[in-house]
Amino acid sequence: MASFLPLMLVLVLIVLLSGVKSDQESDRIWQLPGQPANVDFSQYSGYVTVDPRHGRALFYWLVEAVPSAGPDNAPLVLWLNGGPGCSSIAYGASEEIGPFRIQADGHNLYLNPHSWNTVANLLFLESPAGVGFSYSNTSLDLYTAGDVRTATDAYAFLENWFERFPKYKYREFYIAGESYAGHYIPQLAQFIYRRNKGVQNPSINLKGFMVGNAVTDDYHDYIGTFEYWWTHGLISDATYHNLRSTCMQDSSEHPSIECVKNLNIASAEEGNIDPYSIYTRPCNNTAALMRGINGRYPWMSRAYDPCTERHAKIYYNLPEVQRALHANATGIKYDWDTCSNIVGTYWADSPRSILPIYQELIAAGQRIWVFSGDTDAVVPVTATRYSIDALKLPTLVNWHPWYDNGKVGGWSQIYKGLSFVTVTGAGHEVPLHRPRQALILFRHFLKNKPMPQ
């Protein structure tokens, strides 16, 4: 009898492990439609249920590191886009840090030479439910999403995902993203940190996070944004002063009528520009783009395609693409889209400031880097600087330029507990506009080394 029990335990273990293996293999992406040849890294995608009672399930896409990066030892990085209500597949994976870009025909892919999977394993998550392929069987969930549920669901996702991919347990784990993920990321990091407290060897081995052009603190974000618009000649003196007098006490999610009125005036004064990248053309004239309009403006980067969202909407609605990704298995009654208007419009809860979380996680010794593209007028560099300044952190290394091949790539300042980096010429999506410099930034973040001088 004594020898029979260990044998039974071994059999149970084998069954459990084979179940994990089969779950992984059922999520494996064998080949994406239009995928280029010679792809040498593994990919997985599928669903993880985070609330069985409501039927909420979040869609993920794992892109493992290239062989030269040593995927079995490279860190795992969770990437989140913001909105709220926007897809990390549409933005992070497809036009920023992922291995593939979508051709203008919306049917074919090409390799991104500056993909972050050259140094790390990348996990993209469409969050919360209702965003992209993520769904809920309880339709009310789409109208009641907010910061708290987004964090708790993301944590539930991670717990379940690590069970499906146990080789990533205890691996160095980081979270990165941008924009309204300036709320998601610190909140999720705080959730993980508090759950890990007192645990000797936590399976979610969080080491830190990095956020770019991040919504951080409503008061300081407003000050910095209005100042950026005014100092860059986008709005009039009168509108600048009116914005400061009518919006400063408001929440960014619930501005007053007078504030909205002045924000609309500001938008009219700014005109037909891309506020996410004020010195590049907006995507509003396909014919002009086909003629190569940027040839008339040699200072505009030819590498930047302002219509990448259009390409994504075509590609991810192709039935063969959804089959390859194991996506839309339940037959969602609406098309995949880059952002969910329902989720974003009905956002339920949003604290005015994330700075108290920064203070807690800085004290806990988490690695925190904040970066900013300096041509973004939506969450501009001035807003981020005001928010960081409000933390009143001691400076360890004063403001200084960093370099890429002898050229200034941006500027940096290192505080006690936080590093701040700007990327010159980059808009709201830094890796879209300055992919090479963004990869340099990411490499230095992972090593926790100052930017090159």
Q: How confident is the model at residue 15 (pLDDT cuts 50, 70, 90)?
A: very low
Catalytic residue among 311, 428, 433, 444: 428
Q: Is the pLDDT of residue 337 over 50?
A: yes
Among the listed residues 376, 387, 412, 419, the single catalytic one is 376
Radius of gyration from C-alpha coordinates of the chain: 22
pLDDT for res 307? 82
Active site residue 179: yes
Please give the pLDDT value at position 13: 47
**CA 382 to chain CA centroid, nearest Å:** 20
> Which DSSP state fits 166?
G
359 CB neighbour count, 10 Å cutoff: 14
Q: Is the pLDDT of residue 430 over 60?
A: yes
* CA 110/CA 98 separation, integer angstroms: 11
Cα angle 347, 348, 353; round to 5: 90
Q: What is the pLDDT of residues 186-244, one digit of tens each?
A: 999 999 999 999 888 899 999 999 999 999 999 999 999 999 999 999 999 999 999 99
Based on the residue annotation, tell me whether 428 is a catalytic residue of this protein. yes
- 83, pLDDT greater than 50: yes
In this structure, what token pair is assigned to residue 397?
Answer: 């290394």
Domains of the chain, first to last: 26-219+350-447 (3.40.50.1820)
| Given the residues 179, 252, 340, 387, the one annotated as active site | 179
Is pLDDT at 347 greater than 70 in this prediction? yes
Q: Which SS3 state, helix, strand or coil, does residue 208 take?
A: strand
Once rounded to an integer, what is the mean pLDDT over residues 420-434? Answer: 96
Residue 82 · residue 181 · CB < 8 Å:
yes
What pLDDT is attached to residue 283? 80
CA distance 383 to 395: 19
- Distance between CA atoms of residues 253 and 345, nearest Å: 9
Whether this prediction's pTM lies above 0.85 is answered by yes
CA 47 to chain CA centroid, nearest Å: 19
- Res 266 pLDDT > 50: yes
